[in-house]
Amino acid sequence: MTFSERFDEAKLPKIFYVNWFRKGADGRWLWPGYGENSRVLEWVFERSAGRGDAVETPIGFVPSDTALNIEGLDVTVEDMTELLTVHHDEWRHEVPRIREHFAEFGDDLPRNSTTKSIASKPGWRSSPRSRRTLVLDSSSDRERDV
C-alpha cells in the first residue's frame, strides 16, 4: 500500500525541489539570484492551489515554459528552457545523492518516494555530470517510464 493510498491525497503536503544554482554551458548563472526567487515561490503557491501550469517529466512536474513570471528579468528563452529541462544523465548522478540525504530521516520519511521509483529503473546509474533541476513538484508518487 502506498502512502497516497493510506491518506487523502488532497490533504498530503506537496514536495518541491529547487536548485537556485544551475549554470549554463558557458559557466554563468542561469537564474538571476536570490532577489528573484519569489517568482519561483509564486509558482509553488499557485501549483499547490491547483492553478500553476506544469509539465510532467520522469522526476515529477516542472513549470511550463511560460509558468514563471520573468517579466523585467534578463533571462532568455534559452535560459528558461535549460532551467526547466530534466537531463537524464544528471539525474542518474543525482538520485544516489538524494537517497543518501533521505536516509538521514530514517523511518520519518515515506518509503514510496519519486526518488525511489526513479532509482529503481533500469539504466539509472551515476554519470560524471551534476546539478539539479530548477523546480520539481513530486506530488505524484506513481511509477513513470524513464
Count, in order, helices (H) and strands (E) of the chain.
Answer: 5, 4
Domain count, the chain: 1
What is the pLDDT confidence band of residue 117, given thresholds at 50, 70 and 90?
Answer: low
Residue 54 lies in a domain: yes
CATH code at 13?
Answer: 3.90.228.20
Report pLDDT for 123.
45
If you average pLDDT over residues 110-137, what whole number do you get?
Answer: 44
Confidence of residue 45 (pLDDT cuts 50, 70, 90): very high
In a domain, 65, yes or no: yes
For 16-40, the pLDDT digits (tens) are 877 778 899 999 999 998 889 999 9
Rounded distance between C-alpha atoms, residue 121 and residue 145, angstroms: 8
Alpha-carbon span 92 to 32, nearest angstrom: 27
Q: Residue 59: name the closest of 100, 83, 21, 87 by CA.
A: 87
Q: Is 26 inside a domain boundary? A: yes
Q: Which residues have C-beta within 8 Å of that of residue 33, sequence separation ≥ 6?
A: 20
Section 128-146 average pLDDT: 37
Domain boundaries, position 107: 3-137
Domain assignment present for residue 145? The answer is no
| pLDDT reading at 142 higher than 60 | no
Share of the chain above pLDDT 90, in %: 25
Q: How far apart are CA 102 and CA 11, in angstroms?
A: 22
Q: Between 29 and 137, name the one with better pLDDT.
A: 29
